[in-house]
């Protein structure tokens, strides 16, 4: 029997959740995703040292405040390397420190697109990753209108997903494993089967809602803790998976039945889309989504700062 990874490819677009070019070559995903944490890991790999040096040199020539530009230059350089290997798209994160500033997010996003275009990469091969705050969703809405497609990330709650689809986002990344982490740390069970995992159940609800409402926004499950979560979401539009879990799925030759199907979405999900105040109140009422969104932004910023420090020290 084919491996579970090969079976998964028959019903779901497999995306690599890594900046490691060798891992991407090995598992041959359609797309790849990056973020500040993954870029920090990738920056230590020998393969990328020449890109770091080139990014520093190019950015320092532009003036004293060169570090933010260097970060974007490096993100684009690594993204371009990835696009030489994958046939689809790469997701590149906008600085998480801009997560609560709509206009700054739009400006930074357009700058990233221009850098990619200068490097010979068309905008239809990139997705801009933006945190799913109210301001981030509004930024994605405007970018989508201008033809720039977005990946709304750090998504933990149904309200974020509904607002993202209503805004016309190309893709969302609900974080399965981090939802599980919260429940385990806040009185939930310590061991969940895949079909009862709270992160899995969240993605299934979002997927069914999107199909019922005929939204075009793609659901891409992310942040997995074990293969069982991935198997429980087989059939989802896309799944972005770490190299370790890709290896486990590749080595397993058991049967992988389809779990999500656009023609079988269960009972109608009744939900009323409302405005900013309702969104903020519902998020405030959802402790898990609020806490994990805030934590995710803090962690991305922390890794961004570490990478900037590394670039600064290498520039001296």
Catalytic residues: 129
Closest by CA to 79, choosing from 26, 139, 27, 16, is 16
44-74 residues labelled b (16+ CB within 10 A) or e (exposed): eeeebeebbeebbeebeeeeeebbebbbbbb
Question: CA distances (Å), 69 to each of 95, 121, 162, 275, in order?
Answer: 11, 18, 33, 34
Extract the tokens encoding 81.
């390397």
With contact defined as beta carbons under 8 Å apart, do 90 and 34 qualify? yes
The residue to which tokens 């926004």 are assigned = 217
* CA separation for the pair 17, 19 (Å, rounded): 7
């Amino acid at each position: 029997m084919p491996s579970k990874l090969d079976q998964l490819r028959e019903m779901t677009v497999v995306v690599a959740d890594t900046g490691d070019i060798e891992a991407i070559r090995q598992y041959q995903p359609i797309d790849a995703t990056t973020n500040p944490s993954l870029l920090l890991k990738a920056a230590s790999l020998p393969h990328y040292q020449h890109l770091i040096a080139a990014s520093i040199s190019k950015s320092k020539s532009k003036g004293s405040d060169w570090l933010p530009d260097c970060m974007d230059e490096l993100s684009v350089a690594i993204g371009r390397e990835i696009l030489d290997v994958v046939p689809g798209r790469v997701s590149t994160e906008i600085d998480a420190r801009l997560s609560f500033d709509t206009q700054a997010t739009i400006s930074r996003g357009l700058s990233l697109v221009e850098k990619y275009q200068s490097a010979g990469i068309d905008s239809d091969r990139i997705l801009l990753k933006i945190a799913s705050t109210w301001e981030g969703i509004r930024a994605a809405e405007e970018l989508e209108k201008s033809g720039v497609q977005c990946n709304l990330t750090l998504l933990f709650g149904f309200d974020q997903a509904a607002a993202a689809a209503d805004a016309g986002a190309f893709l969302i990344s609900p974080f399965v494993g981090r939802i599980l982490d919260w429940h385990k740390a806040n009185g939930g069970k310590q061991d969940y089967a895949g079909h009862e995992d709270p992160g899995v159940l969240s993605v299934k609800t979002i997927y069914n809602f999107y199909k019922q409402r005929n939204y075009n926004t793609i659901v891409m499950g992310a942040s997995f803790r074990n293969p069982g979560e991935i198997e429980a979401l087989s059939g989802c539009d896309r799944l972005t998976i770490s190299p370790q879990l890709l290896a486990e799925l590749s080595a397993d030759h058991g049967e992988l039945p389809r779990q999500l199907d656009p023609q079988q979405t269960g009972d109608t999900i009744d939900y009323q889309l409302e405005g900013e105040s309702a969104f903020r109140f519902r998020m405030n009422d959802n402790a898990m989504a609020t806490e994990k969104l805030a934590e995710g932004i803090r962690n991305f910023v922390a890794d961004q700062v570490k990478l900037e420090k590394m670039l600064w020290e290498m520039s001296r």
